[in-house]
Amino acid sequence: MGFKVAIVGATGAVGVEFMKVLERRNFPVDELVLLASKRSAGTTLDFKGQPHTVTELTHDSFAGCHLALFSAGAKISREYRESCVKAGCLMVDNSSAFRMEEGVPLVVPEVNPQDAKRHKGVIANPNCTTIIALLALNPLHQAMPIRRVVAATYQAASGAGHAAMEELKDSTRAYLDGKPFTPHVLPHPYAFNLFPHNSAMLDNGYCEEEMKLAKESVKILHDPSVRITGTCVRVPVLRTHAEALNIEFVRELSVEKAYELLRKAPGVTVLEDRAKNRWAMPTDVAGQDNVFVGRIRKDHSQPNTLDVWVVGDQLLKGAALNAVQCAEVALL
């Protein structure tokens, strides 16, 4: 006995990954409903070797569905939440719409799976940067409480969707060919360029992406004592985020212990060859489920502090995989 599963935003960068993840993990799908805007309706996408036609999202789309995986932006999530939940369909939402809403669990299954079971119709999938950081931070925090993290991120185009990935490629080709290119997806030139994250600026000088990392982490860890400050930067990489985390603990955690904890942590792979100065990088991690970590070193500038290098596929653990894992915890 399987489930009738809807994907909202089926033609997007994350939507396509939802299908691949459901198939690869053998999620018990009896029927798959692909939903998108009117513009994308009629597109055909393969699932388990069978063509499926994308239909237009309407308030009746969720009839008989058990699970809807949403990745079509916060506006669509807000607009269709009620129709989805009223139809008795669990909404796992990849947007930021409900993440900080009281009563909506915000879940990274390796960190707080118990929260997924307490849902009232909606489970929020955290921000990609938050998920990837927490895969590395939580195992350390459980062994030795974290006081403060200074994070700097190296974020891929995919966080801004499929069109941004195409714009990165198109603008780079134009640059190499000496041709002009006007960006229309991202606000700045992207070819061989980078810029602080283009999410909305807040009054405190941080952008939304940076405050998501701080606030969502506290909610997921259920621990307001963990303070995270970050600088989020969009770099010309296609689908994999990297993060340099400087982590201050309340007391000393040794480098050896940190490696031991991360080597056995679920969803984490330690990849490095220290003698060769070889650490995880986007070309290693694109298409991989696990978050890759390494370069753990003792900070020479103050006690009780470690540096960790973390790399994760933004579309998988940062989005589609984590959402499907949330559904598995809640439904299976």
Q: Which residues 6+ apart lie within 8 Å of 73 measured at CB?
A: 9, 95
Q: Is 192 in the site for a second copy (CB under 8 A)?
A: yes
From the list 35-43, 60-68, 131-139, 149-157, the region that binds a second copy by CB under 8 A is: 149-157
Binds a second copy by CB under 8 A, chosen from 43, 281, 304, 328: 281
- Is 232 among the residues known to form the active site? no
Q: Is 300 in the site for a second copy (CB under 8 A)?
A: yes
| Cβ atoms of 243 and 166 closer than 8 Å | no
The smaller minimum CB distance to a second copy, of residues 43 and 229, is found at 229
Whole-number Å distance between alpha carbons of 108 and 331: 15
Q: Pick the catalytic residue: 52, 119, 141, 241?
A: 241
Q: Looking at residue 320, what DSSP letter applies?
A: I
Whole-number Å distance between alpha carbons of 300 and 244: 16
Q: Pick the catalytic residue: 128, 207, 232, 326?
A: 128
Region of 287 on the Ramachandran plot (φ > 0 left; ψ -120 to 50 alpha; else beta) = left
Q: What φ, ψ does residue 41 adopt, rounded to 5°? A: -60, 140
Binds a second copy by CB under 8 A, chosen from 41, 85, 100, 214: 214
- Is 66 among the residues known to form the active site? no
Binds a second copy by CB under 8 A, chosen from 4, 20, 148, 162: 148
From the list 42-50, 52-60, 76-84, 227-235, the region that binds a second copy by CB under 8 A is: 227-235
Q: Which residues 6+ apart lie within 8 Å of 266 measured at CB?
A: 110
What is the smallest separation between the CB atom of 269 and a second copy, expressed in angstroms?
17
| Cβ atoms of 134 and 247 closer than 8 Å | no
Q: Is 100 in the site for a second copy (CB under 8 A)?
A: no
Write out the catalytic residue numbers.
128, 241
